[in-house]
Amino acid sequence: MKILHLGNAYFLESFRQLGHDVKWAGYHRTADIPLTRLLLDARSLLAQLPPHWYPDLIVLGDESTQPLVLGLETLPVPLVWYAIDSHIHANWHIYYAAAFDVIFVAQKDWTPAYQLDGDRQHVSWMPLFCHRSNDRDLGFARDIPLSFIGTLNAARNPDRVDLIQRLQARYPIVVQSGPYHETFNRSMMVLNQSVANDVNFRTFQAMACGALLLTERVGNGFNDLFQDRTHCALYEKGNVDHIIELTDYYRAHPAEREAIARQGYETVMAAHTSLHRAQALLDTLARQPLHECVAKRQIRQAPIRWSLASVYESAARTYSQAGARAEEDLRRRHFLKLSAQYHSLAQTIRGQLDPLVAA
């Protein structure tokens, strides 16, 4: 099958490993089709594909940004979206979902919100994962008792910054951002904190690297995947005393720590890699009447476009606010230009479609 992968290419190598012909079109220099123009029309994108290569399937990996390729909803090809950051972007994700035939949602609790058109869309939970090619136990000596690697941004996640600062004042935790593989492989335990009750990538990456995961109690299907003191150790959200208690206990009980870490590692490798998710995605598609879904989508363009107008209005506001905050003139003009373009798109749709027809 010919698969066009857009956005974050989560399943590029896995699809290829499963025998499919995959092209990645993305805003990255290593993409098969590197994109540079923002707000690119989907049909212009297809014109950049190799001669006689037309996709049987389009898969969009959530980029945690506003839609950059426009008009996907008009294409006569099955459209799949892997929505990851529902806990951050639900305010416009729930409208953008209208464009797709099959949607996989990484955060379980949000899955019902993406079901906009019941008789033409399939929506299901598909948790995050690790990449086995990168996330693995390298057999290093574990000389770091506790580490945290992640973004520390008080504006976006003040609870995390507060937690880490309070913990640093009382315990010698290694705190970094950026690459994590070596540090996770040297860590006895890896601390995790979520943005908004989400089951994040760090959950799977830490266990895949062989460390004992210390993570807060969250929803979104976590208990369907892992169990406390079997695959990981759970602490109460924001409770530094509990984190230190767990860390001291598992440092003093290495055999128990290693057994739980091993169980977590084996469970992730047996069921939670990108290859598992890619196969699950394709298996789900094989059970769907995709031609019927696409045909219904083509007929129902008016309500779909009406929903997309809400997406573009949200994007216009986001970039307008970014422009207002930007200190550099070049960045400010860039954001404000994007805001104006999204606003124009929304206004065009609103002007062309009667609300009663679009409902």
Q: Confirm or reject CATH 3.40.50.2000 for domain 144-272, answering yes or no.
A: yes
CA distances from 27 to 68, 113, 192, 329, 330 (A): 9, 28, 29, 23, 20
Residue 350 three-state SS? helix
Average pLDDT of the chain to the nearest whole number: 95
Q: Is 144-272 the same fold as 2-129+276-299? A: yes
User: Is it the case that residue 356 has pLDDT exceeding 80?
Assistant: no
- Provide the residue type at 278 as one letter: A
- The answer to whether residue 359 scores a pLDDT higher than 60 is no
Residue 112 token pair:
């019902």
Closest residue by Cα to residue 182 from 147, 232, 233 = 147
Pairwise CA distance, residues 20 & 78, whole Å: 16
Query: Model-level pTM?
Result: 0.95
Q: Which fold is adopted by the domain 2-129+276-299?
A: Rossmann fold (3.40.50)
Question: How many residues would you count in the chain?
Answer: 359
For 87, the 3-state DSSP assignment is helix
Calpha distance 181→99 (Å, rounded)? 36
Lowest mean pLDDT among 33-37, 124-128, 271-275: 33-37
By the 8 A CB rule, do 119 and 337 touch?
A: no
Chain mean position to CA 305: 24
Over residues 307-343, the pLDDT tens digits come to 999 999 999 999 999 999 999 999 999 999 999 999 9
User: Tens digits of per-residue pLDDT, 38-80?
Assistant: 899 999 999 999 999 999 999 999 999 999 999 999 999 999 9
| Residue 154: predicted pLDDT | 86
206-217: pLDDT as tens digits: 999 999 999 999
What residues does each domain of the chain span?
2-129+276-299, 144-272, 302-359
Q: How far apart are CA 294 and CA 101, in angstroms?
A: 7
**Higher confidence at residue 96 or residue 356?**
96
pLDDT tens readout for residues 174-215: 999 999 999 999 999 999 999 889 999 999 999 999 999 999
Taking only the tens place, the pLDDT of each residue in 100-145 is 999 999 999 999 999 999 899 999 999 999 999 999 999 999 999 9
Find out whether 70 and 41 touch, Cβ atoms under 8 Å.
yes
